[in-house]
Structure 1
Amino acid sequence: MFNLPHQRKTLQTPHSGYHWDGSERRFFEGWYYRVTLPEHRQTFAFMYSIEDPIGSKLHSGGSAQILGPNDEYICRSFPDMKKFWAWRDSLGLGHWGQTNFPPPYQGGQEGDLLKPRYLQPEEFTRHIQQGYQGTAKFHQGSLHDPGTGNTARWQYEIQPIYGWGNSGQPQQSTAGFFSFLQIFEPGWQILMAHGLATGWIEWNGKRYEFTNAPAYAEKNWGGAFPQRWFWLNCNCFDDEPDLALTAGGGRRGILWWMESVAMIGIHHQGKFYEFVPWNSQVNWQIQPWGKWLMQAKNSLYEVELSGTTDLPGTPLRAPTLDGMQFVCRDTMQGNLTIELREKSKTILKASSSLCGLEIGGSPWDQPWLSQSD
């Protein structure tokens, strides 16, 4: 049923491949896959990261985190960098933990070790007891968190619908052309604003099977870390199956100064509406937790977003200068309303109760207002 997947070039975004250049400089790269199950009112978010891939550094290693049903959480570290692999020209990565390959693959001799790579799903299931692998069109893994006893297994195909840009046109860098430059770090790229996932996920023994469930993917990378950030994401709206939103902002260092930037991206019925600093005015009012408000306006369109939650959220680890730390908080069950207008005429109005909401970094002791930066 499953074959080695390759993403259609028309949907592959810039920055889909692995960014590490082999140097010893401080570096991280992170990937994010998500599947939302409307009939269960639940979401599974998978987060993978690599730090200092050169190895033998204080923070060298990888990790896998899952935010599951009711914002429950699994985390697993993968300290052995030699068991990580990633493609440089397209989206593809994986990390192996415990395996059961037969001799001569095991035996302690360096030459006998099986080189990590993409495996056919049946082979992965047979030999990888802890680990994951993901591409643009397929995602599979198995994790056990010894601290909580939580377990997860998953295997599903992905049909990409939207990358980052208008349908049928070359896809765009989320942070613009300058995201290719090292001075503008960390980089951020939405890999798939919207797709459809078919397969299954097991969470603590409960099996969820799904067909054409809303799916999403993004990534970030670099040697610098944002001071603080916020994020809203949803592609599962009430009565709007062909709608995807990603919005966010952060405060980061650029050479010798700090800047605060934010953006809103909307895919709807084949069209991409982009509100970014170089073409729009973007404002935000983000509470320390519970309320996310954004407004943006350019020469053609304007948009308003409101994200709210009464849930406490779940602390998640993120790469920092001091390694993986609990510096962000997420819920996948936020409430969202969006209104898009063209010349003051409403052309889209939608809502959801399955929105991803996040804050990260510090300080968050008071609201973050865009006008105050």
Structure 2
Amino acid sequence: MPPLQTPHSGYHWDGSDRRFFEGWYYRVTLPEARQTFAFMYSIEDPTGGQAHSGGAAQILGPNDEYLCRTFPDVQSFWAWRHALGLGHWRRLNATNESSKITESSPLVRRGSRAASPHLLPPAQFDHQIHEGYQATATWHQGILRDPGSGFTARWQYAIEPVYGWGDVNESQQSTAGWLSQWQIFEPGWQILMAHGLATGWIEWNHKRYEFVNAPAYGEKNWGGAFPQKWFWINCNCFANEPDLALTAGGGRRGVLWWMESVAMVGIHYKGKFYEFVPWNSQVTWEIQPWGDWRMRAQNSQYEVELTATTNLPGTPLRAPTQQGLVFCCRDTMRGQIHLQLRQRATSKLILTATSDLCGLETGGGPWDGVWKSE
């Protein structure tokens, strides 16, 4: 297991037929191209045979362009229980569905279905998988094909984790705190990698982007219930601050038999983790339905202020809901962000930073006005 592996990196499904989803998010930002690729994977009701059983892969690409493909067969999905690893494929390449497959092959067939899907060597995946993806803490690879438009996306890149969720030399933390080890919060949320470096390539409809040590990020969520309303701010590509990563967000979530509104801010900077969460800080927010995100937080030692804005319309994205995978949130990867971090006792400025490559999201509802809360 990687030394920066966080709690909740493994797959959470317990094998039951209760309503369940799990989702993963990988992102690479390309500073020179001024573009970002965000990959979103999900699986719902993995037992199969239910109304919403199946998986999906979504990509938010250059200029907030969007590609989505569904993977209805839950039997072709795999995920590791105790570490970050998952994959899903639609079918094998036609040349591999007969003579190329032998009884000793890891893709030996049962009828028309591949048996025991699992992580493949990159060259084998590239040769045999017609459409699908595979991802771990250190590797990410896939291909999606839209048969209607002929649009194709392909990617292969290695990941070097820099920050998990916590101080580098300490045990990594649960984003929702130690209580999240039990089924108390619905849904669960975990930042898997607050900051990393990605090296490889992405092809977006035949335009190839190659990169070395590009800022990378990863998170996940899971559960048997779904958030009612939420917001999200994320950036690890700041001007003149290569060793800075920010993730902030909030939402209305289920806690046992009641609902609560919570929010947090997490900052990794020069090897140190600054955490502002409900159990150690006061966190306030003022979020417009779209276009403007403002947060303040303070704990016993530090205080932070965030202002994020966008003039872009954003792109509607699908997310798992009680009614299945539906459009219920809006994102841009080209938001403006201004961050200030200070020592609380002296007001000494620790950090001020800006970026125009910030990820911003609002989701759920109702959004009938400004969401302002403490």
What is the TM-score normalised by the length of structure 2?
Answer: 0.95
Check conservation: 2:247, 2:265, Cα contact below 8 A. Answer: yes
Q: What is the correspondence of 1:159-170 to structure 2 with a 5 Å cutoff?
A: 159-170=160-171
Letter of the 1:366 counterpart = G
SS at 1:288's partner residue? coil
Distance 2:212 2:235 in 1: 18
2:5 is aligned with 1:36: no
Distance 2:161 2:255 in 1: 33
Check conservation: 2:76, 2:114, Cα contact below 8 A. Answer: no
Structure 2 residues without counterparts, runs of 5 or longer: none
2:90 is aligned with 1:89: no
Distance 1:82 1:114 in 2: 8
2:208 is aligned with 1:207: yes
Distance 1:28 1:147 in 2: 28
Q: What is the correspondence of 1:247-266 to structure 2 with a 5 Å cutoff?
A: 247-266=248-267
Measured against aligned partners, the alpha-carbon deviations of 1:168-204 in whole angstroms (never above 9, x if no partner) come to: 1100000101112212110000000000000000001
Q: What is the correspondence of 1:144-223 to structure 2 with a 5 Å cutoff?
A: 144-223=145-224
SS at 2:180's partner residue? helix
Aligned to 1:3: none
Letter of the 1:364 counterpart = W
Aligned to 2:302: 301
Letter of the 1:73 counterpart = Y
Aligned to 1:353: 356
Check conservation: 2:8, 2:190, Cα contact below 8 A. Answer: yes
Choose which of 353, 360, 372 in structure 2 pairs with 1:369.
Answer: 372
Letter of the 1:32 counterpart = Y
Distance 1:276 1:103 in 2: 52
Aligned to 1:73: 66
Distance 1:119 1:195 in 2: 23
Measured against aligned partners, the alpha-carbon deviations of 1:203-237 in whole angstroms (never above 9, x if no partner) come to: 01000000000000000000010100000000000
Letter of the 1:367 counterpart = V
Letter of the 1:137 counterpart = T
Letter of the 2:86 counterpart = L
Q: What is the correspondence of 1:46-65 to structure 2 with a 5 Å cutoff?
A: 46-65=39-58
What is the TM-score normalised by the length of structure 1?
Answer: 0.95
Aligned to 1:322: 323
Q: What is the correspondence of 1:234-273 to structure 2 with a 5 Å cutoff?
A: 234-273=235-274
Please report the RMSD computed on the Cα atoms of aligned residues, expressed in angstroms: 1.3
- 1:167 shift after superposition: 0.8
Letter of the 1:82 counterpart = Q
Distance 2:338 2:274 in 1: 16
Check conservation: 1:227, 1:251, Cα contact below 8 A. Answer: yes
Number of aligned residue pairs: give it.
363
- 1:148 shift after superposition: 4.3
Distance 1:202 1:18 in 2: 29
SS at 2:130's partner residue? coil
Distance 2:192 2:49 in 1: 30
